[in-house]
Chain A
Amino acid sequence: MSINWFKYSSPQTFFPLAGKLALWFGALALVACGAGLYIGFFVAPTDAQQGEAYRIIFIHVPAAWMSMFLYLVMAFWAGLGLAFNTRLSGMMASALAPTGALFTFVALWTGSLWGKPTWGTWWVWDARLTSELILLFLYFGFMALQAAIDDPRRADKAGAVLALVGVVNIPIIYFSVKWWNTLHQGASVSLSKAPTMAATMFAGMIVMAFGFWFYSIAAALMRARCIMLERERASDWAVEYAKGST
């Protein structure tokens, strides 16, 4: 008995599945984020050096992880779409981009909120901050390019080329920014000095990371559903669905 790997590669079959999955992952995201925030704000001990301000890492660190991870996932779908010419891959890539940009922005924003009480400044040209900022620009470029192209097939492919070029560039950007910083002066503040972390803090962060991950899946699938309906609006199943839902 062979498995049909391509069963869900058509919008018609994937659309209902995406709806169910989005619901489940959305629920999981709620549970995980609730639990993570509870651990972060009520269970985890106060940090000896940074006081209560450190608690923002329960949002900041998972958001930063997701921002980088989502770009890779986006590039993966984009590459798949370019290689196999599958319609859904491009839709997934464009559905992931806004969520990735959101997390990049959240990471930058919470980072500066954390930096003010701890470092005494909203922003430093630290290697990680700078490369995160450039990552945000890369997301914006991807979205702007897709928005400027009317033909969805061309938008998918052009976006895919850009995403792949971006993936190749990310390590180069990261290292050049790192060297740039160290060449000028030693970083006066470093994000990597973190003292050994209490187990509860780590647990809170991991749970939050899973929460953000599930949220990303749910949000991307919901957005992909909208894109599918929009692009397949002429097909029978989409018309059926639109009739049924109104």
Chain B
Amino acid sequence: MLAALRCVIHRDLLLATRRSSDVLTVLLFFVIVVSLFPLGIGPDPELLRTIAPGVVWVAALLASMLALNRMFAADHADGTLEQMLLGATPLGMTVAAKVFAHWLISGLPLVLISPVLAIQFDFPQELLGVLALSLALGTPVLSLIGAIGAALTLGLRGGGALLSLLVLPLYVPVLIIGAGAAESAASGLGGDAQLLLLGALLVFAGAFAPWAAAVALRVSVE
């Protein structure tokens, strides 16, 4: 079974590297959205420092949502998904592997570039690690929850806008706790509590979301 999962991950990563512009688009979207905020709000460093974690988090949330459409769409279009549904590997495990691959492609780059963007906001350097760590724990949760939404809206008209309507309310806890980690670290309280909560959310979502997404896939492909 592990071989099958490795195969799924390897295949998705290979497909992504062959069409690397898709990956870059999401990353550039993230960078641009974050850079727009100072233009809209004004360059006051004091203000920017306060809103930095929130802005980075909201932008990461939107960027990861933008990438969700692609999680199952191509496999659905060429029939691979049906083979996965019929295959011997438990569908929940296959979904988990796909979500992991999807996170490597669309979530991890955001985590890696987030410190650079936070510096633009004059965010204290010693806290960049907390921000990146909160994103590293939080973006997989976004991918996991998003997988359910992507599976439910598979092949529907108006998929993108509908997907955001379904998924964004469910993202709220991750956003609150994730942005809260760096904020409370900046205010001197330390972000440990939020990071632990994010870890708990990740474990919880990792256990249940692939399974729910598998049910949703069966409903959608039926």
Residue contact A162 to B166, C-beta cutoff 8 Å: yes
Q: Mark A163-194, 1 if CB is under 8 A from B, else 0.
A: 01110110011011101100100000000000
Given contacts A158-B219, A183-B184, contact A165 B169 (CB under 8 A): no
Task: Find residues 184-210 in chain B having any chain A CB closer than 8 Å to their own CB.
Answer: 184, 201, 208
Task: Find residues 168-226 in chain A having any chain B CB closer than 8 Å to their own CB.
Answer: 168-169, 172-173, 175-177, 179-180, 183
Chain B residues in 8 Å Cβ range of A183: 180, 184
Given contacts A149-B156, A161-B215, A161-B216, contact A173 B172 (CB under 8 A): yes
Q: How far is the CA of A165 from the CA of B201 in the complex (A)?
A: 14
Residue contact B152 to A145, C-beta cutoff 8 Å: yes
Q: How far is the CA of A203 from the CA of B89 in the complex (A)?
A: 58
Count residues of A near B (Cβ-Cβ below 8 Å): 28
State the majority secondary structure of interface residues on A.
Answer: helix
Residue contact A154 to B162, C-beta cutoff 8 Å: no
Q: How far is the CA of A164 from the CA of B211 in the complex (A)?
A: 13
Chain B residue at smallest Cβ distance from A178: B176
Residue contact A180 to B152, C-beta cutoff 8 Å: no
A residues near B (Cβ < 8 Å) are 82, 134, 137-138, 140-141, 144-145, 148-149, 154, 157-158, 161-162, 164-166, 168-169, 172-173, 175-177, 179-180, 183
B residues near A (Cβ < 8 Å) are 148, 152-153, 156-158, 162, 165-166, 168-170, 172-173, 176-177, 180, 184, 201, 208, 212, 215-216, 219-220, 222
Sample of 24 A–B contacts (CB below 8 Å): A137-B168, A138-B169, A141-B165, A141-B169, A144-B165, A144-B166, A145-B166, A148-B156, A154-B219, A154-B222, A158-B220, A161-B219, A162-B152, A164-B212, A166-B170, A169-B169, A169-B170, A169-B173, A175-B173, A176-B172, A176-B177, A177-B176, A179-B177, A180-B177
